[in-house]
Amino acid sequence: MRQFALLFVLPALLAASPAAFAQSAAPDAARLDLNATGRVSVVPDQAHVSSGVVTRGDTAAEALRANSQAMTRVFAELRRAGVAERDMQTRQLTVSPVYSQPGRDMNQSPQITGYEARNTVTALIRDLDRTGQVIDAMVTAGANQLEGVRFGYSREDEARNEARRAAVEELHALRDLYADAGGFQIVRLMSFSESGGFQPEPMMYAVRMRSDSASTPVAAGELTIEVTLHAAWQIEG
């Protein structure tokens, strides 16, 4: 599915900086400035699930030891759920002190009451049908922090090039339309640039603890890949 958003600026007489272009233009040269955006909607075919374990202990070593034991179980469950070693990556590992809450005496310094260890892993799931199973596996193994699911598209470059071609076609169509309607001629291209992004469409996202009958439900929705082109031409009447 293709969608196009077009933004254009009517021809205006603008000064063109000789330093900005290979061929300098007269200071009073007329310009045609146009923008065109090409959008391609795709169905995600992979997901990144970020989850981890938070543990506490009286000492930093105790908190880290408990965390390491739990994360060892998480990695083992990920393997059993079909996630390859190359698709698992530790994203965060921290150990920090936990301080007491201030009492009535606001001048009293907070005291260290223990330590907290956090370890977060991101798993790349190449089969979206297994997303819920992977989440369940991580929680069952002891993960008590779920940061979310980010969906992706493995052929993003192909889709982005399709959006580029669509934007170029629209940009040239607009250029020719204004030249014909305005009765002027296109002299030369003065500037050309690109901007774009990878935008997830609003989607339903639900997470619940595993039951005997089903895995955690997750809705992937759609992703929109867009590219916006900016171009300016020197024109003459």
Domains observed in the chain: 2-43+155-236 (3.30.110.170), 46-152 (3.30.70.2970)
> What is the predicted pLDDT for the residue at 27?
61
Q: Give the bridge partners for 122, in sequence order.
A: 50, 89
5-14, 48-57, 63-72, 188-197, range with the lowest pLDDT: 5-14
Mean per-residue pLDDT, 194-200: 71
Q: At residue 25, does pLDDT exceed 70? A: no
Is residue 128 within 8 A of residue 37, CB to CB? The reply is: no
Phi, psi of 169 (to 5 degrees): -60, -45
Which secondary-structure segment (H or E) carries 32?
A: strand 30-42
Is residue 46 within 8 A of residue 125, CB to CB? The reply is: yes
> What is the predicted pLDDT for the residue at 26?
61
